[in-house]
Structure 1
Amino acid sequence: MRNDDHIIGIGDVAASARPEAVLKTFGLGSCVAVILYDPLRTAGGMAHIALPEAAAGHTSSRAQPLAPAYYADKGMELLLRHMDRIRRGAGTGGLQARLVGGASMMPNSRYLIGKRNVDVLRQLLAHYAIPLVAEDVGGELSRTVFFEIANGKVTVASPGRKHIVL
């Protein structure tokens, strides 16, 4: 792994304005990677979202709190803060979004977590007026994502399928 490679774990966020940086996340099932890119400033970021929202009144019973971007709303807010910082206060203007993941890993599940993750993230992108320019979502396969900051290229790898470039 190079020094400019960043691995985004479940509930994590990273952003960079270094052209040589590559952001990666592995094994997306029902989770969704939301990727923001600013082609004018060559800056981008990624969040690995696990769930659409916390249940009302939910508090974690874990000894360790959940990662900051575990839920879509908090994850999107955090990703936007990271992007604003590296873009020096540019707001949401000029950003483009891509979504990857949201698979149905348990086809008979009534919870439809993957679909709900995608739906909530689409609503959040619309709320922030960030255009969704590409997506690879749904289905029943896991996905690994590689995001190159230099050119905004997002490559999606899945077992048994050719790589997709968004």
Structure 2
Amino acid sequence: MNNNQTVVKIGIADLNIVKAPDVIRTSGLGSCVGVVIYNKNKEIAGMAHVMLPDSSLGKQETLNKHKYADTAIDILVEMLLNNGLRKNQLQAKIAGGAQMFHITTENDMMRIGKRNVEAVLNKLAEHNIPVVSSDVGGNFGRTIEFDPQTGLLKIRTITKGEHVI
């Protein structure tokens, strides 16, 4: 990391955008999904830390729109478009969506990680944003860091070490 580089940290149920040389990072992705939408040529990226798939289940008057796949991705795309990007130039990388606890029921409502991944993929498809790579599922947490200059998403896990997609 060079001295001119800042790491912009994204909290749980949060989102932001970053321009190179800065990088963007989020930690604590268990069943949550980290969504990176970016344009490598313009060296701009946005990241959302999605906690839940569907905002319609939340209390509308106190709704944190950054928490849900269906609303956070809309906001992130809007922020990128407001920074001069065109929708047809955007691509995405996603990570997370783990099944952190052993569940014996067949009830899909309990499989938050899987549902988060599906909701994120559906929303990105709605925006016609291709997912160029992903690292989802499993039963382990992740920390991710994206560099808009290289287009690389670094993924760190306690059990599997570090790799890049």
Alignment of 1:98-109 (within 5 A): 98-108=93-103
- In structure 1, the partner of 2:147 is 148
Alpha-carbon separation, structure 2, partners of 1:50 and 1:21: 24
Q: Residues 24-72 of structure 1: CA distance to partner in whole angstroms, max 9, x if unpaired?
A: 000100000000110121111100000001344x4169xxx45431011
Corresponding letter in the other structure for 1:161: K
Structure 1 unaligned blocks of 5 or more: none
Q: State the TM-score, normalized to the length of structure 2.
A: 0.89
Corresponding letter in the other structure for 2:40: P
| Pick aligned residue for 1:14 from 13, 16, 40 | 16
- Greater helix share, structure number: 2
Alignment of 1:14-163 (within 5 A): 14-17=16-19, 19-56=20-57, 58-59=58-59, 65-86=62-83, 88=84, 90-108=85-103, 110=107, 111-163=110-162
Alpha-carbon separation, structure 2, partners of 1:44 and 1:59: 30
Which runs of structure 1 show a deviation greater than 4 angstroms over 4 or more consecutive aligned residues? none
Contact between 2:55 and 2:65, CA under 8 Å: does it hold in 1? no
Alpha-carbon separation, structure 2, partners of 1:15 and 1:44: 6
Structure 2 unaligned blocks of 5 or more: none
**Sequence identity (%):** 33
Return the offset for 1:16. 1.8
Alpha-carbon separation, structure 1, partners of 2:37 and 2:121: 13
What is the number of equivalent residue pairs in this alignment?
A: 159
Return the offset for 1:115. 0.2
Q: RMSD of aligned C-alpha atoms?
A: 2.0
Q: State the TM-score, normalized to the length of structure 1.
A: 0.88
